[in-house]
Amino acid sequence: MVNTRLDYQHRSKHLTALCLYDFFSHFHKKLIDKSDRRLIKSANGSEGERLDTEGTKMNERYTFESAHPQSSSHIVMKHTNPVVPVLVGPQIPRKERDETGERYSRALLTLFVPWRSVHDLCALNQTWTEALEVQKPLFSPASLKIIENIQLLHECKHDRDEHLRQVLVEAQSGNSIDPVLIPNYYEEDQNTEEDDPEQLLQMLSTVNEATTNAYSALNGNQEQRYLYDALQAIDNTDRFALLNDQRNVWNQNSDDIVHDSSTFV
């Protein structure tokens, strides 16, 4: 079975310096067509070589090494514009956790250091953490920026979860939520429309009417659970008491109007 690992391992010798992340960001595999066969024929059928596309509008093309199972049917072609590879599987751990340090180091080495076999990444007498320290100078500035962003994403998720925990603690204690915990996303602007109290109340009433089954249905989506818990916690406080009072006054006035109108019927 051919997979992306084989595509990378048996890439052209001209792409040896590319790490796994950059390889799939800039290149993809394609089926050989008639135009490609003419280029391969001009190159005398050489494997693991760059095809001559000079003077054409074709993107860069490379043949696989002969060890690749699809070397006779597929080639590697450069994207017109780089893409962002999607990492499938377990996420890269946080770097500061000792219990996942080896897995973190292995993931970074696999993604950002050029290799063709595991021995290019880690020696037999090394741990993955030790190998990472040795190989770190090989990381490109772009790779270091990606690694920094991965860690930043972890920190943002941690801060989000900590914020939710504090909101829930405040709500369960029966106190009003500390204003510090309520983010202020908008600066005062005369051109900005004020929040509609009716829309806010409708949003909160949706939370009030949600059942346990509805909450269970959200278990597959962490972002939705976060929003649900935050709204539930805020609704349990008196933060929107004024809005509820306004609605009660509006409903009372509506009843009075209907009652007064009925006298003329």
pTM for the complete prediction? 0.60
% of residues, the chain, pLDDT over 90: 35
Averaged confidence pLDDT in the chain:
76
Instruction: Tell whether the model's pLDDT for residue 94 goes beyond 70.
Output: yes
Instruction: Tell whether the model's pLDDT for residue 9 goes beyond 90.
Output: yes
Nearest alpha-carbon partner for 62 in 23, 8, 11, 20: 11
Nearest alpha-carbon partner for 236 in 179, 184, 172, 161: 172
Averaged pLDDT, 210-229: 57
Instruction: Tell whether the model's pLDDT for residue 143 goes beyond 90.
Output: yes
pLDDT for res 189:
46
Residue 101 tokens read as 């340090």
List, as one string, the DSSP characters of 148-193. HHHHHHHHHHHHHHHHHHHHHHHHHTTSPPPGGGS-------TTSP
% of residues, the chain, pLDDT over 70: 59
Averaged pLDDT, 52-78: 91
pLDDT tens digit sequence for 97-112: 888 889 999 999 999 9
Domain ranges of the chain: 4-78, 152-184+197-255
Q: How confident is the model at residue 258 (pLDDT cuts 50, 70, 90)?
A: very low
